[in-house]
Structure 1
Amino acid sequence: MSLSNPLNLILIPPILYLLYRRLVPSLPSTPSVLPNKYDENVYNWMPARHPDVLCHKSYTPVELAELDGRKNPNCGICLAIMRVGGDGKVSPELERTVFDVSAGASFYGPDGVYGNFAGRDASRGMAKQSFDDDMLTPIEQPLDALADLTPSEIDNMRGWHDHFSRKYIICGDLVNASSM
């Protein structure tokens, strides 16, 4: 073997490395027994506490009202918007999607511009582009059938539903208390 040949010089390091790996066994990179509790002095990929999450379920208007960010700020902020059918029409049977809008608390929280929609069915208000309190159905009454909406208002509502679907977590459906 001649060291004057550049190819030989290039091959020496890989050959030495392979010999070293063959002669010196490697140690396991992870311990064989994992600790059974969190230790701050040891690297641990598990978080100390998992975040609270809302489970996907059917909410009644009374249950949804609890998620307005006022009564229990640690439970999140949710609102509901009706899904529009493929034909562009609304029917009382269509469900309303419940969105967890906690990430937008500055908008939907108690002091936000859309705060009156928190914990409520926002379908009529979103359809009519109105934040007035008279757009909200009292929680003791059955859900608003929205039968009087114009095609452009229905399209507004569909646009808001699509926007929320892309931006917020869907955490359930809003249903009448009588259907549970």
Structure 2
Amino acid sequence: MQEPTHPSSLSISEYTLEQLRDFDGNGPTKLIFIGICGKVYDVSEKAQFYGPEGPYASFAGSDATMALALNSTTREFIPKINDSAPDLSTLSDKQREALDGWVSFFDKKYQVVGTIVY
């Protein structure tokens, strides 16, 4: 597998869902970004998990907020390009706790490279 190619100056940016889709590990840069709760994380270093053949490939280049909260790796809970931001008020306390745990994990492990704009 080809190593990700990071731009020389990767600054924090705003990404629409359409722009985020370019970072699914399949593009020329091989970068993998995942959005969670409005933040965009660079998870390229763990392509074995989030890359095209990984168990969490459905999250790559997407807003995975609801999928993570609902403990789902299917694309069912991944927003489409024209969808609105996820409505977190629909989550149960247990789902919100799970999501908060994922945000904490990603904050500690991966670099934030931007935000999602809907």
Q: For each residue in 1:130-165, what CA deviation from the matched residue of structure 2 results, as whole angstroms up to 9, or x when unmatched?
A: 112111111222222232110111111111011011
The percent of aligned pairs where both chains have the same amino acid is 33
Q: For each residue in 1:65-94, what CA deviation from the matched residue of structure 2 results, as whole angstroms up to 9, or x when unmatched?
A: 111112x14151001111xxxxxxxxxxxx
Aligned counterpart, 1:99:
41
1:167 has 2:105 as partner: no
Report the number of matched residues. 113
Aligned-residue RMSD, C-alpha: 1.6
Answer 1 or 2: which has greater strand percent.
Answer: 2
Aligned counterpart, 2:19:
63
Aligned counterpart, 2:36:
81
TM-score normalized with structure 2 length: 0.88
CA distance in 2, matches of 1:167, 1:161: 10
Letter in 2 for 1:68: D
Alignment of 1:6-155 (within 5 A): 52-53=7-8, 54-70=10-26, 72-82=27-37, 96-155=38-97
Letter in 2 for 1:164: F
Q: For each residue in 1:33-77, what CA deviation from the matched residue of structure 2 results, as whole angstroms up to 9, or x when unmatched?
A: xxxxxxxxxxxxxxxxxx53532111111111111112x141510
Could you list the structure 1 runs, at least 4 aligned residues long, displaced by more than 2 angstroms after superposition. Answer: 51-54
**Which of the pair has the greater relative contact order for Cα pairs under 8 Å at 6+ separation?**
2
Aligned counterpart, 2:3:
none
Unpaired segments ≥5 residues, structure 1: 1-50, 83-95
Contact 2:30 2:44 in 1 (8 A): no
TM-score normalized with structure 1 length: 0.59
CA distance in 2, matches of 1:154, 1:129: 11
Query: How far has the Cα of 1:172 moved from its partner?
Result: 0.7
